[in-house]
């Protein structure tokens, strides 16, 4: 029963005191404390807290102050009150969110850097790729590592196509150029770089005003930098490399 009361929202000591009071009936604080297995000052504090919840009332008998547990039905009113409080918080957040987002967006002139670890972190960043506003992604990557270490890549590509996001990819692979890597139906153009000319290092993805730098060797991680000037610089480097490769890989 103690566990259920804690799940409802009472603290452990509040639950102990309430259960003790239910069993004892009208009782002084000393008896309640002994029954609950806590000291007297702690029992006083819990009783005051329970009184605010409407779960405790008092009566005077002679010179003694007795405390009485209210009907457990009152717990339903407690939950309803918490639900209303939560709804009020949701409404307040809804009203404040536009202004908060405006403040967040106002910092766009400052590089915003986020760091993600592990395969789950990489997949989270890939989901962010799919939210690109300009519907374009540019990437430089070592294809074998991506397909060998990140699961469900075909699902990611399918979702990208479904959202109408075009991709330009510069890649390398130990197996050489991949047939049909350029496919209008898949909204992808790609250019191949031989592995001897392509160091196996970090993969780079440019989308909107963001640059994602991913390492899939040793410690798997991804750093996302959000800054227009930085993204434009990386995009310029990508464009130069793209043009220098021409259409040789087709």
Distances (CA, A) of 1 to 46, 59, 132: 17, 26, 50
Nearest by Cα to 231 from 165, 132, 159, 160: 132
Average pLDDT over residues 115-136: 93
Distance CA 60, CA 109 (A): 67
CATH number given to 2-71: 1.10.10.10
User: Please, what is the angle between helix 29-36 and helix 40-52, to 10°?
Assistant: 100
CATH number given to 111-245: 3.30.870.10
Tokens at 55, concatenated: 């779960």
Computed over every residue of the chain, the mean pLDDT equals: 87
Provide the pLDDT for residue 249.
46
Provide the pLDDT for residue 64.
85
The model's pTM: 0.55
CB 112 within 8 A of CB 225: yes
Give the pLDDT confidence of 139-192 residue by residue, as tens digits.
999 988 888 888 888 889 899 999 999 999 999 988 888 766 556 678 999 999
More reliable by pLDDT, 137 or 55: 137
Average pLDDT over residues 193-213: 89
CB 226 within 8 A of CB 212: no
Residues 6+ apart with CB under 8 A from 153: 146, 147
CA angle 210, 213, 219 (to 5 degrees): 145
Average pLDDT over residues 96-110: 75
Delimit the domains of the chain by residue range.
2-71, 111-245
């Amino acid at each position: 029963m103690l566990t259920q009361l804690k799940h409802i929202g009472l603290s452990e000591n509040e639950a102990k005191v309430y259960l003790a009071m239910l069993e004892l009936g009208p009782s002084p604080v000393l008896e309640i404390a002994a029954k609950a297995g806590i000291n007297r000052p702690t029992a006083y504090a819990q009783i005051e807290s329970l009184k605010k919840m409407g779960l405790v009332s008092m009566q005077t008998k002679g010179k003694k102050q007795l405390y009485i547990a209210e009907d457990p039905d009152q717990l339903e009113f407690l939950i309803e009150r918490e639900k209303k409080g939560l709804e009020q918080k949701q409404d307040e957040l809804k009203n404040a969110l536009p202004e908060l987002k405006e403040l967040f967006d106002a910092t766009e002139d400052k590089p915003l850097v986020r760091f993600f670890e592990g395969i789950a972190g990489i997949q989270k960043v890939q989901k962010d790729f799919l939210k690109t506003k300009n519907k374009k992604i540019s990437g430089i990557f070592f294809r074998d590592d991506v397909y060998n270490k990140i699961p469900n890549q075909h699902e990611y590509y399918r979702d990208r196509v479904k959202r109408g996001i075009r991709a330009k990819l510069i890649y390398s692979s130990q197996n050489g150029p991949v047939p049909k890597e350029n496919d209008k139906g898949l909204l992808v153009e790609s250019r191949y770089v031989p592995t001897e000319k392509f160091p196996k290092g970090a993969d780079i993805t440019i989308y909107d005003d963001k640059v994602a730098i991913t390492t899939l060797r040793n410690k798997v991680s991804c750093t996302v930098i959000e800054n227009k000037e930085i993204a434009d610089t990386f995009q310029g480097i990508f464009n130069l490399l793209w043009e220098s490769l021409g259409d040789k890989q087709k």
